[in-house]
Chain A
């Protein structure tokens, strides 16, 4: 009786397993035949730390480009999936995330970076495997200089580009004695280095350089020191949450009226929502949502339609770079007809984008020797006659890429050869 019952149970178990495994196996085979494996893009973007707010914006930009491609059937017949992991504004996390995305999640490409230390860390891992990595928003000149890689492409203007656009003019208008406020990490150091070189080459003097540790929240000692030094111009290379706190404390002391301030580059999420007083000085950017250029209005409307609940109601430079980088990557894959890394790299190295297509004033192109996008740089300040609530920038000048070129970068950048770059295809 017991034996019979055991046999019955075994039969039921085997039957159940067959019923379960059979359709599953068939479905899997069917799924593989009917649709190609999705293309996974790893989004290596900060969701926390000093650049957490900006990381959210560039992620939306990348997602928009992916959505547009998916709406027209994906790329090479494959739908595109995005996988995001928080890089925490921390280089060690960036490395770990990149390693995991490439080795475990089979990401075809990596997109996203704000902090230059994080960007550098990700790019080292990406190069090790041959995975193409787009540095969307990190702007240390070293990214397309000594830390360049064959697999890395830099989409934002860098500290040198912005310094070229701003410094000479600020010297003419405000004077020759400058103090540098430098965020104490790779971007701050190299951006201030570029500013120093241009100031000194034009007969100016760097009276002092104050290094500001990352995550500084109280700037009173620095601001006292500035008052004692009394420079003509204060050039800040301070980013993320640090620049927000600095701006508040400068305004509390009304020092924005005592010195001329320039901030090498002003990311949109770091000023959005601030009051008119807080947005002082002159700063650089590579895009603004009210540029009077074809396509800008539609681009803004698309953002507002896709992301109605977000706090930042209009897109800024960080979103723009996230979008443009991802769009050009997917276009390059289409042109290459393959996800093979070397083919995609070659496409990106020869990239030329018209001003109209990029919604900038001048045509842009990828420098094949440094892998940095050469593009229009805008000099801006606070707009005291805004057309609407969010219209907080007044564009003072637009400078073509040739005039702001980082001439030291090609000498410093030693790209790995194609042969030394592992072949990578997912």
Chain B
């Protein structure tokens, strides 16, 4: 009984961690799933989101607002700014479409290096802190354990964003066009839709999601130029684990990774980071296409 009572907080903590992992992977999943481009700059865009938010919090036009309102405005504006930057990046990527995927990989890898160094040059290499409103700062007592209020906020933000993205992709006309574009671009073009514009908006949305994840994770992980590296590896692992292109696969994989990392952190702490890779190897060994990945024609 004592064991269960001790275990329960760790299970809940693992699930909350999983939601955050899923949030980090969301933008990455969108771009890979819809455009079939592995965006290695995802981590740097994650970091850029946190830095832009940090700068906007001190922005003079917002200086008169109370901290809570300023945070809310920045929470919207910073991802928009990074989304615009994402559009520029997408324009640079156009010549790689339809070619060997290696070209896209190299381009986004180069972009990741450039963004990280640009961050270092502009903001410096020192740690930055994002100011938080009082309402989501501090801690709450649940039973005899203390939890950070911010963690509840971050999990809630992750749930809201996951639901919103799902509604957008599955329940709107734009979402249907995006999915159709991923399935058969030529047909979408033949029907009179501008595929280039579609890709531009999807990439912008993906980078904006990376920026939101960066803003949400900033108070937990801190803001440093190379913080993106910490994000891109689990994001990549989660989308492969969940099955490339599968929305709920990525969410479930995020939750699984969170659970495994959280539980090993509590009971076999030295294995906590390694555990996600072991989970990955086990799943991919028995199900190479990931949990919810589409069956390949070669499997038949």
Contacts and interface: CB of A to CB of B under 8 A. Distances in A.
Interface residues of A, number: 39
Given A222-B265, A228-B6, A312-B126, A252 B273 contact: no
Nearest to A255: B146
Contacts of B146: 227, 253-255, 258
Contacts of B17: 218, 220-221
A221 B127 contact: no
A19 to B, nearest CB: 42
A248 B219 contact: yes
Contacts of B272: 213, 216, 221
Interface in B218-275: 219-222, 224, 226, 230, 261-266, 269-270, 272-274
A53 B20 CA distance: 26
A213 B273 contact: yes
Interface stretch (B7-15, B193-201, B279-287): B7-15
B55 to A, nearest CB: 15
B273 A225 contact: no
A220 B127 contact: no
Given A221-B13, A221-B262, A222-B265, A275 B220 contact: no
Contact of B230 (A184, A215, A248): A215
Contacts of B220: 217-218, 245, 248-249, 252
Nearest to A210: B269
B125 A52 contact: yes
A211 interface: yes
Interface string B1-41: 00000100110011011001000000000000000000000
Interface string A267-282: 0010011110010000
Contacts of A216: 272-273
Interface in A341-378: none
A253 B266 CA distance: 17
B58 interface: no
Interface string B70-114: 000000000000000000000000000000000000000000000
A254 B16 contact: no
A224 B273 contact: no
Nearest to A212: B269
Nearest to B9: A224
A198 B273 CA distance: 30
A274 B150 contact: no
Given A221-B272, A252-B150, A253-B147, A311 B125 contact: yes
Interface in A254-312: 254-255, 258, 269, 272-275, 278, 311-312
Contacts of A224: 9-10, 13, 145, 266
Contacts of A255: 146
A248 B273 contact: no
B266 A215 contact: no
A421 interface: no
Interface string A169-207: 000000000000000100000000000000000000000
Interface of B: 6, 9-10, 13-14, 16-17, 20, 124-129, 137-139, 144-148, 150-151, 219-222, 224, 226, 230, 261-266, 269-270, 272-274
Given A53-B125, A213-B270, A222-B266, 8 more contacts: A52-B125, A213-B272, A220-B17, A248-B219, A248-B221, A252-B150, A274-B129, A312-B126
12 contacts: A213-B269, A220-B265, A221-B14, A222-B265, A224-B13, A225-B269, A252-B151, A254-B139, A255-B146, A269-B126, A273-B126, A311-B126
